[in-house]
């Protein structure tokens, strides 16, 4: 149980284009989903918290107009990187909150974005 | 600012030894605590959760929590090379919410 999928697993795009990443909770409903970014050899950085049916809450320094988050259902959240640039190249990971025993978060497998 | 501190390592142990990973947190009212394992190039995987003071064992893993000292640890017995990874400590500050504060992780290398 508590499986989270992400699609695509990797994507290469040209500078200036937009990329959409999907995050799904497969066997549970997640009222809250989280989006993280991780650069090589660095720790996880929380970008935003997404609650179903409401606007996402972005962490300080994360541009909400550049990283569009939609959480339209209890099993799906999407992150769209708009007008991507090479510095947006990173490993993007979503997680879904579930109360199994202790308010755990379960992570998707991640999406590796490379912007040329 | 809620802080979670971990020794970044690297921590090297020989195969078969006990690996001990430590974590301290600053928010005294934190409720639940987690250990995630992250292999290089992969996303974090939840391996242990603990809520109450004391020890919690699951196979070769034991989580230890001391709320008075604001300290949580992970012991890995009979360490295997496949345990080589970065271990992230995470703290949930309140019940009813899923947000976690992560440490920067401890890199463990198990030497065959």
Residue B78 CA to residue B96 CA, distance in Å, equals 36
Q: What pLDDT is stored for residue B95 in this prediction?
A: 61
A71-94 in b/e form (b: 16+ CB < 10 A) is beebbebbbebeebeeebbbbbbb
Residues of B in contact with A41 (CB under 8 A): none
- Written in H, E and C, the secondary structure of chain B is CCCEEECCCCEEEECCCCEEEEEEECCCCCCEEEEEEECCCCCCEEEEEECCCEEEEECCEEEEEECCCCEEEEEECCCCHHHCEEEEEEEECCCCCCCCEECCCEEEEEEC
- Over the stretch B6-53, which tens digit does the pLDDT of each residue have? 988 899 999 999 999 999 999 888 888 999 999 999 999 999 999 999
State the smallest CA–CA distance between residue A46 and chain B in angstroms: 9
Residues of A in contact with B72 (CB under 8 A): none
DSSP state of A69: E
Q: What pLDDT is stored for residue A30 in this prediction?
A: 85
- The model's confidence at residue A100, banded by pLDDT at 50, 70 and 90, is low
Q: Residue B12 contacts by C-beta under 8 Å, 6 or more apart in sequence?
A: B108, B109, B110, B111
Is pLDDT of B102 > 80?
yes
Q: Which of residues 50-109 of B touch A (CB under 8 A)?
A: 50-51, 88, 90, 92, 95-100, 102-105
B32: contact with A, CB 8 A cutoff = yes
């Amino acid at each position: 149980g508590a499986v989270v999928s992400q699609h695509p697993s990797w994507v290469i795009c040209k500078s200036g284009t937009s990329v959409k990443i999907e995050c799904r909770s497969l066997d549970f409903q997640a009222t809250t989903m989280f989006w993280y970014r991780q650069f090589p050899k660095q720790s996880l950085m929380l970008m935003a918290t997404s609650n179903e049916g409401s606007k996402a809450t972005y962490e300080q320094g994360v541009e909400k107009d550049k990283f569009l988050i939609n959480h339209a259902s209890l099993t799906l959240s999407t992150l769209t990187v708009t007008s991507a640039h090479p510095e947006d190249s990173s490993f993007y990971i979503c997680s879904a909150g579930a109360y199994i025993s202790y308010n755990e978060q379960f992570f998707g497998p991640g999406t590796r974005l490379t912007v040329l | 600012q809620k802080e979670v501190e971990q020794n970044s390592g690297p921590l090297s142990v020989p195969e078969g030894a006990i690996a001990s990973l430590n974590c301290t947190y600053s928010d005294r009212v934190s409720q639940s605590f987690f250990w995630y394992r992250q292999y290089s190039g992969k996303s974090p995987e939840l391996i242990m959760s603990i809520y109450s003071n004391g020890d919690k064992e699951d196979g070769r893993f034991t989580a230890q929590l001391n709320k008075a000292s604001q300290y949580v640890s992970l012991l890995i017995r009979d360490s295997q090379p496949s345990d080589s990874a970065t271990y992230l400590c995470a703290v949930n500050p309140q019940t009813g919410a899923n947000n976690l504060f992560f440490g920067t992780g401890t890199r463990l290398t198990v030497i065959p």
